[in-house]
Amino acid sequence: MTSEQNDQPLPGPEPEDTEQSSEFAEMLAAEEDRQPGEPQAGQKVTGTIVQIGETDAFVDCGLRTELPLAVTELKDDQGNLQYEVGQVITAHIQKAQDGFKLTMAINLKEAGFKALQDAYEAGTPVEGTVKDTNKGGFSVDLGGRRGFCPYSQIDLRRIDDPSVFLGKKLSFKILELSEDGRNIVVSRRALLEADRQAQGSQTRASLALGDVLEGVVTRLVPFGAFVDIGGVEGLVHISQISHQRVGNPADVLQEGQTVKVKVMEIQNLGQGRSERISLSIKALATDPWPTSAAELVPGTDVEGKVTRLVDFGVFVELLPGIEGLIHISELANRRIIHPREVLNEGEVINVRIVDVDLQRRRISLSRRQAADYDGD
């Protein structure tokens, strides 16, 4: 080997090899960022229930391990399981004797006052037992410390009977906490609203025309019923409650009742007060017209119940969901100005069937042509 060759510099990495090394380092760093982290006590996490056992459920929160959650926290006051495998929940990480666990609400009797302060600062739910009522609200036992929950903060809707909450162990959010722990104001409504908002986001993401859903009647108003279909309220107009005429929604529905509804119209979804969701109970019920109305024979007399008095006549219910009209000229042999002169709503009368138009869904009736008409 010549001296000239010895003077040559040793070969280094090619430029493209350097670029590849740099890309590999970036990929490795990105992969490390994606690695599941370690649980932190007090951390709020969202995860998917992957298993429900006898005493514990296990939740995948994207951490290194799945964390246990007591099954009792997934049940209602009657002991009914309210969650299922695959459902997404939000909980808080709590230190346990053998590691970490999840809790929907901290048990203050076990955790102590420091946990109360931490829960207040982090917005973590705490467990409390409703003891009694006083002026303006409830007295709540928070693991030996007394808290106050205003009536307006115990539920999403106005409560008529506060006593139904007495003795119940519920989850609350701490709204106010004095330094000495003597003044504690809590709210259950804040947690319910947060859950409802999360549930509503999921419902809106999948809601479509024609969906058949199960909902709960939340409010009855003169023009219909509002129904919660999963964190979102829709309206069942009074005309969509039943095939039969409904004068007052409270006659056939009650608040808290579970009903099946069909989504008929969606407007401005997710846009606050302008959001409109029209629902129907009637659309899922059997229409009595095709079969029942066909049984009514013109020229025969039937018994019916007066349902409405209008200027031009009287509507009479002949069968459930089947109404006919007596024109004012067919009410009596004499001239009358208004149907109230001879009939009242709710009155049962005999009528003659004059005509049945199945296509137009119209039935013409006559009172004065009926066999037992007394000529008043």
Weakest mean pLDDT among 59-68, 127-136, 277-286: 59-68
Q: What tens digit of pLDDT does each residue of 152-192 get?
A: 999 988 888 899 999 998 999 999 998 877 899 999 999 99
**What DSSP string runs through 287-341?**
PSHHHHGGG--TT-EEEEEEEEEETTEEEEEEETTEEEEEEGGGS-SS--SSGGG
Pair 114, 188 in one domain:
yes
User: What is the Cα–Cα distance from 63 to 56, expressed in whole angstroms?
Assistant: 18
Residue 278 forms beta bridges with which residues?
235, 265
Q: How confident is the model at residue 211 (pLDDT cuts 50, 70, 90)?
A: very high
Q: What is the pLDDT of residue 6?
A: 46
Which of residues 240, 256, 284 is at a domain's end?
284
CATH of the domain at 55: 2.40.50.140
Pair 278, 219 in one domain:
yes
Q: How confident is the model at residue 309 (pLDDT cuts 50, 70, 90)?
A: very high
Tokens of 206: 């999948």
Check: CB of residue 42 under 8 Å from CB of residue 64.
no
User: What is the Cα–Cα distance from 255 to 334, expressed in whole angstroms?
Assistant: 47
Pair 69, 52 in one domain:
yes
Pair 332, 269 in one domain:
no
Weakest mean pLDDT among 63-77, 110-124, 138-152, 347-361: 110-124
Pair 228, 266 in one domain:
yes
Pair 154, 84 in one domain:
no
The reply to whether 2 falls in a domain is: no
Work out the average pLDDT over 120-127.
Answer: 85
High-pLDDT (> 90) share of the chain, % = 46
The reply to whether 19 falls in a domain is: no
Q: What is the pLDDT of residue 277?
A: 96
User: What is the Cα–Cα distance from 51 to 87, expressed in whole angstroms?
Assistant: 10
Q: How confident is the model at residue 24 (pLDDT cuts 50, 70, 90)?
A: very low
Q: How confident is the model at residue 42 (pLDDT cuts 50, 70, 90)?
A: low
Which of residues 127, 160, 192 is at a domain's end?
192
Work out the average pLDDT over 264-281.
Answer: 93
| pTM across the whole model | 0.61
Into how many domains does the chain fold? 4
Average pLDDT, the chain: 84
Pair 333, 350 in one domain:
yes
The reply to whether 323 falls in a domain is: yes
Q: What tens digit of pLDDT does each residue of 157-167 get?
A: 888 889 999 99
Does residue 208 sit in helix, strand or coil?
A: coil
The reply to whether 11 falls in a domain is: no
Q: What is the pLDDT of residue 299?
A: 92
Which residues are CB-neighbours of 5 under 8 A, at least 6 positions away? none
Q: What tens digit of pLDDT does each residue of 56-82 get?
A: 899 998 887 888 988 888 887 677 888
Q: Which domain holds residue 235?
A: 207-284
Pair 179, 222 in one domain:
no
Work out the average pLDDT over 321-332.
Answer: 92
The reply to whether 120 falls in a domain is: yes
Q: What angle do CA 241, 246, 248 make, to 5 degrees?
A: 105
Pair 216, 280 in one domain:
yes
Pair 223, 183 in one domain:
no
